Amino acid sequence: MSVCMKTFEINENTLRVVLSEDEFVKEPYLVKKQPLFDGICTVGTNGKEQDCKLIGNGNDLFIQKSSSFEKKDVKRFTFDGGKPVVVTKKTVDGERSFVENANEVKIGEAYEAKVVFEIEPDEAIYGLGQNEDGVYNYRGKTEYLYHNNMKIPMPVFLSSKNYAVFFDCSSMMIFEEKDNKITITCDAVEQIDYYVIVGTCFDDLIAALRVLTGKAVMLPKWAFGYIQSKERYKTQDEILAVADEFEKRQIPVGCIVLDWLSWEDGKWGNMYFDKSRFPDARKMVDELHNKGINFMISVWPSRKEGCENHKEFEEAGKLLCNYSNYDAYDEEARDIYWKQCERELFAAGTDAWWCDSSEPFTPDWNGEEKRPERVRYDLARESTNKYLDARESAAYPLWHAKGIYDHQRAVCDTKRVCNLTRSGYPGIQQYGTILWSGDISATWEVYRHQIAEGLSMCLSGMPYWTLDAGGFFVGNTESWKRWANVKEGIRPWFWYGSFEDGVADKGYCELYTRWLQLATFLPVMRSHGTDTPREPWQFGDKGTVYYDTIVKYIKMRYELMPYTYSLAAQVVINGYTMMRSLMFDFAHDEKVKDMWQEYMYGPAFLVAPVLEAYDFGPNNTPLNKKSLMEVYLPYGTIWYDYETKDVFEGGQTIKAYAPITKMPLYVRSGSIIPKASKVDGEVDTIEIYSGSNGMFVLYLDNGVDYSYEKGETASIPLVWNEEKQALMIGKKVGEYSVPEKFHIVLYKVDKTVLEQDVLYKGEDTLVQV
């Protein structure tokens, strides 16, 4: 078989490689069109398909060894006339509909295609999205890339040699690395289409990936505060009571979330409030807004047969063949979906969407035992490709998010789109999305896995990622029985939390507190889950250790809001990454290549989450362990303990004191951190950690609408000169208003602290500290 290989230089650091059985080159699917001009990434051996050497920055990257194409029919289910016979089942993952009289028809042809790369023995491989098991370095691993609850595939990997390979492939895929060879298998494609990106660091790679797939947009400022959720608030009165309690206790909260079943009983997914439980949604949302709290609501792509929304899609012929989910690939179907969102939910003042089950199929979300990974992949492929074109089956959540973003932007320019979605694909960052890790269980092992999964998502180019702090499923068999309202039965494999008694178990309170500490230093901080309550006061009252620590970290999130929001601006302006593998900043340190246990939050903070219980195990079992953990401080800088201001040289492993009240957190010397002294999150303080030169750009806008796109912003460069012990607060760029005064705090290596207030009029202001 003869394979045609073509290459296109996209820009100075990106090469497109296309392999096919003929001369035709299909237009990119996920990639935005870019001008073609000479670049620095080239192909060796004159473009021959076999043993083709890829070269970038003058260095060998990898060798493309071989490729193959096996022709296959693309089939899809359809109705064979008459009314579909639908069976609806209640599952832990919502109501699911199945059509019993659908027929399979051929809709096209494609190839199962493979390509093999040879890499160096010492390379580390990262990315590939979120894949459940906490894999960080994919050397020696096989990973199946398909959508599922807890799985978000991303067809991109990064090498420790500072190159990335991105596949413009919207079918399911398999990644396998063995014996220094990476084999990529695409389930259904017309050609193999991949991009090689080279750079000097990982920031270059991610920024270039976003050039290819789309620039991220600003989320509303409140989304970077604290989001309170649970499964679920049942009534309007309950939501307002929770808001009142936050206000009474003076605990800041940016958003309260209404999970599933906002609709009338028996009308799954219908976008009308159940008026018996939510008699005046507009009034409810107005009262939340009066307290400075935003409102997010869960919406689904599926509809129960017979409800009003289902009838609309049915009459328009815009349902998939499971007779439940709308066809998000279809523009008219997306129009209808938005009208359903807008008619009552958006009209009530809803600030954000929670697009649950956006895969939209989870065929293995059942059974007592977790199936082998290959079986799960085949099951997902068989199920999903019944209803979606196999050539673009992975792109459903992308089109779903696009529909919401485009329509909300069209009707409202005064409220930024914010979409918490369970699944995604490259390009979804354009649509105001936050991805989260699905319905995870409350165990220490899962908690540890989440760190690697979050890093992998960010290494795949996704800027905003979060999780259910505390785990979604807290209990085990008894918890499931209570939820399902049964006395006997088989607990599903994914419901395996360690704490049957929830917040009444000190073992869970400890895990939850540690999880919330971690969440404080994620791009988005959010608490959510089922089978036990989640509000801070459920873990004790003022003066008790869990309550006080939880509130301390929520307030810390707002204290750091100016820093976090400035990082978010860099995400949009420069393609920055907030949750950072140590490979972003310390690739020169060989020890960090496999280190997932720690990460950077922006340029300043080294985050070292506590990875085990010290005080209590399940069932209030005392452990009485010493609260000490090992933390590696990367080489090449001085580090400050954020709370004590103790100073440590980099390049060493230290024993960190980590009682329940404290997560080890370190600041790199030269860091400049804008902060807020009040819980309103407005900047008034600038902290400097001496020992090195440093810089930071403070960013401000109104945090609400899209006026930032028209330049209604302000950026203030902050530059620390270590030799002169001076801070330059630079001239502001932009017309947005800035503070008239800053409180400057300098922390020195000798533990001296110097403070002063400085007036600022938007011009260069030199501060001799």
What are the catalytic residues?
A: 356, 359, 439
Phi and psi dihedrals of 499, rounded to 5? -135, 90
Cβ–Cβ < 8 Å for 558, 225:
yes
Q: Which DSSP string do the residues of 554-597 spell out, in sequence order?
A: HHHHHHTHHHHHHHHHHHHHH---SEE-HHHH-TT-GGGTT--S
Residue (of 641, 714, 673) closest to 559 by Cα position: 673
- Greatest C-alpha distance within the chain: 82
How many CB atoms sit inside 10 A of residue 259's CB?
A: 18
Q: Which phi-psi region, left, alpha or beta, contains residue 390 (left: φ > 0; alpha: ψ -120 to 50)?
A: alpha
Residue (of 137, 43, 62, 119) closest to 592 by Cα position: 137
Residue (of 462, 419, 674, 488) closest to 564 by Cα position: 674
Indicate the Cα dihedral angle 42, 47, 51, 52, nearest 10°. 10
Contacts 24+ apart (CB under 8 A), 482-486: 482/531, 483/92, 483/530, 483/531, 484/92
Secondary structure, 3-state, 225-294: CEEECCCCCCCHHHHHHHHHHHHHHCCCCCEEEECCCCCCCCCCCCCCCCCCCCCCHHHHHHHHHHCCCE
Report CA torsion sign: 683, 601, 405, 472: negative
Residue 665 and residue 663: Cα distance in Å, rounded? 6
SS3 of residue 313 by DSSP = helix
Residue (of 585, 433, 615) closest to 506 by Cα position: 615
SS3 of residue 99 by DSSP = strand
